[in-house]
Structure 1
Amino acid sequence: MVLTILKVYFVCTVILMMVYAVRHAIFSYNRMFGRQRMYYSDIFDSDMPSITVLIPMHNEEKVLTYVLDALLACNYDRDRLEIIPINDNSSDRTAEMLEEYHSRYPFIRPLHRFEGERGKPAGLNEAMRLARGDIIIVFDADYRPGKDLLTSLALAFQDPEVGAVMGRVIPYNVDTNTLTRLLNVERSGGYQADQQARYNLRTVPQYGGTVGGFRKAFLLETGGFNTRVLAEDTELTYRLYTHGWKVIYANSAECYEEVPETWEVRGRQVRRWSSGHNNVMFRYFFRVLFSKYMSVREKLDGMLLLLVYA
């Protein structure tokens, strides 16, 4: 009996791996030889939406100047721009440094959190209730956006079907060691191949939690981020699709990040992602399967995406 169970398990595992191999082969072929779906980069509209940039921070005194200075160099109309750094229980000079920026740039409005529930989802929920912009764009504190990035991301929301948009992440510490070089390959495959191919094929591009934006009204109307879900970005992706919205991928909207430089840090990162992603899988698998808003193609890719960590 045990031997039979192991054989069945082995056969099912092989079949599943073959399904994912075919899936990735289709994505790679589409990216190399298929017709590439264009982004909204040729749109020009003098009436751009008002945006609020949220930056969750915890003890980020060493890196916060990079992201804030990069955002200040962006070419977005400052009358339509608000930046809210979220100081979440920092014990270093993060709060002091943010107040220095606020004194020089009034549209940088720090939120200091020393009470209540901790964590990124809780901080984003509190900041959204204070935000003045119609569109929320999120960056992690160690990211460095290019000067055209805010405009590129905001353009997608001229389309009334778009609920969220995701840009492309590029490591800037690639040459540190073997791990960072491997993660650069992973990022290239995940964004340049998978995300762009899913966008081309009109399946399920994924909002990634940073270097992306979403409509504030939708999230507030549906209860904000669930603080019990670690992968709040994946949860938002599927919440949007199961409510009839679309997620758009902007390959030309580039932002630069510092990837993990040790295997220990990378291991913690993957464990956190897998835990959060599998939580979303249990919550949304059948919602996706029976959704009246998603096409058969979207459902198939959506379920395979939900199962990647499982």
Structure 2
Amino acid sequence: MAYNEEANIERTLRAVLDQQGTSMRIEEVIVVASGCTDRTVPIVTEVAEQDARVRLCIQEKREGKASAINLFLKEARSPVAVLIGADVIPDTSAIQNLCIPFKDPKIGMVGGRPVPVNDPATFMGHSVHLLWRLHDRLARKSPKLGEVIAFRNVISGIPANSAVDEISIQALISQLGYHLIYEPKCVV
């Protein structure tokens, strides 16, 4: 899902396309550009011309993240779908680490561990690192999934008015009887 991400989208796409791993294969990368007024669409188009796995879906009007996710779900063909923000940079094995738990048929959704890039020596950097360390500790006890998630492609959409997309996906996956887990080895 991308809205005016020209500063980040190419780096994120390249990091996703360059993922390493033996237990997964990235078959498709779908970018939903929602109401973009910057160079996001031309940048994604250029990357798609270089790698056929990249597909661009354009929403002319910005309709919100739930709408973009629903378009993504309509287009996605892989048995496991991964949602990652256009400004999130995955570690080289992040997607593999995110997908390994799906070997267990009871697992329906997995979330990764965000690690900020801010300098922890600054006040703001220290605060952000502290926040995400607390998030990590809590998520290890009770999964709190966000920033990067993978889930079985078994839902057709989330409520259009949802302001909490990850929670909506979690609820739908849980209702189908699947378990949710947090995978701290998936670093983004």
- TM score, norm. by length of structure 2: 0.91
Pick from 82, 85, 89: which aligns with 1:140? Answer: 85
Could you say which structure has the higher strand fraction? 2
Greater Rg by CA: 1
Decide whether the 8 Å contact of 2:138 with 2:144 is kept in 1: no
Q: Kindly state the Cα deviation for residue 161 of structure 1 after the two structures are TM-superposed.
A: 0.9
Partner of 2:32: 86
CA distance in 1, matches of 2:89, 2:70: 23
Partner of 1:46: none
Counterpart code for 1:182: S
Q: Kindly state the Cα deviation for residue 187 of structure 1 after the two structures are TM-superposed.
A: 0.5
Partner of 2:138: 194
Decide whether the 8 Å contact of 2:118 with 2:128 is kept in 1: no
Partner of 1:167: 112
Q: Against the structure 1 CA distance between its residues 130 and 243, is the aligned structure 2 distance closer, same or farther, given a 3 Å change threshold?
A: closer
Q: Kindly state the Cα deviation for residue 120 of structure 1 after the two structures are TM-superposed.
A: 1.1
Aligned 1:212-291 pairs, distance under 5 A: 212-217=149-154, 219-220=155-156, 224-255=157-188
Counterpart code for 2:99: A
Counterpart code for 1:247: L
Q: Does 1:123 align with 2:68?
A: yes
Q: Against the structure 1 CA distance between its residues 158 and 131, is the aligned structure 2 distance closer, same or farther, given a 3 Å change threshold?
A: same
CA distance in 2, matches of 1:189, 1:57: 27
CA distance in 2, matches of 1:112, 1:71: 20
Counterpart code for 1:206: K
Q: Kindly state the Cα deviation for residue 124 of structure 1 after the two structures are TM-superposed.
A: 1.1
Q: Against the structure 1 CA distance between its residues 176 and 127, is the aligned structure 2 distance closer, same or farther, given a 3 Å change threshold?
A: farther
Identity of aligned residues (%): 21
Q: Kindly state the Cα deviation for residue 197 of structure 1 after the two structures are TM-superposed.
A: 2.3
Counterpart code for 1:124: I
Query: After the TM superposition, which parts of structure 1 deviate over 6 Å for at least 4 consecutive aligned residues?
Result: none
Q: Kindly state the Cα deviation for residue 73 of structure 1 after the two structures are TM-superposed.
A: 1.7
Moved more, 158-167 or 169-178: 169-178
Unaligned runs of 5+ in 1: 1-55, 199-204, 256-310
Aligned 1:9-48 pairs, distance under 5 A: none
Q: Kindly state the Cα deviation for residue 176 of structure 1 after the two structures are TM-superposed.
A: 7.6
For the residue of structure 1 that corresponds to 2:67, the secondary structure is: helix
Deviations 1:154-195 (A, max 9, x none): 11111111110011000001348423311210100111x111
Q: Kindly state the Cα deviation for residue 227 of structure 1 after the two structures are TM-superposed.
A: 1.9
Q: Against the structure 1 CA distance between its residues 125 and 98, is the aligned structure 2 distance closer, same or farther, given a 3 Å change threshold?
A: same
Counterpart code for 1:82: E
Decide whether the 8 Å contact of 1:166 with 1:212 is kept in 2: yes
CA RMSD of aligned residues (A): 1.9
Unaligned runs of 5+ in 2: none
